[in-house]
Amino acid sequence: DTEVTQTPKHLVMGMTNKKSLKCEQHMGHRAMYWYKQKAKKPPELMFVYSYEKLSINESVPSRFSPECPNSSLLNLHLHALQPEDSALYLCASSLQLGSYEQYFGPGTRLTVT
């Protein structure tokens, strides 16, 4: 099973809302990633978790708050977002942090109104 699942598929939220994105993998991978992708652009790395600990934070605004409750789950909590945060949010996982291939979920299409 090389599947990474993400929920919800689509999300529309106002600038004062609080919502969460969820990601799950059952491949036994110990590294998990959040990316933000704008149209026609490559994914931009936001956060990396390694063995459930935050390993990399690419200077992401605090209105994005990641959480890794266990080795299979990764959440991204959203609060007070801006319209420019509208994008496709991709979750990925890899065997470990390092030079390993990453497996991506289908993404959550987020629209901030």
Partner 1 sequence: AQSVTQPDIHITVSEGASLELRCNYSYGATPYLFWYVQSPGQGLQLLLKYFSGDTLVQGIKGFEAEFKRSQSSFNLRKPSVHWSDAAEYFCAVATGNQFYFGTGTSLTVIP
Under the rule (CB under 8 A), what is the footprint of partner 1? 4, 6, 40-43, 45, 48, 55-56, 88, 90, 92, 97-107, 109
Q: How far apart are CA 27 and CA 6, in angstroms?
A: 15
Instruction: State which residue, 18 or 28, has the beta carbon closest to partner 1.
Output: 28
Q: How near is the Cβ of 101 to partner 1 at its closest, in Å?
A: 5
Is the separation of the CB atoms in 74 and 13 below 8 Å? Answer: no
12 or 15, CB closer to partner 1? 12
Residue 18 or 41 with smaller CB distance to partner 1? 41
CB of residue 64 vs partner 1: minimum separation in angstroms?
19
Cβ 42 to partner 1 shortest distance, Å: 4
Number of residues in the chain: 113
The rounded distance, in Å, linking the Cα atoms of 101 and 94 is 6
Return the closest-CA partner of residue 90 out of 71, 79, 76, 78: 76
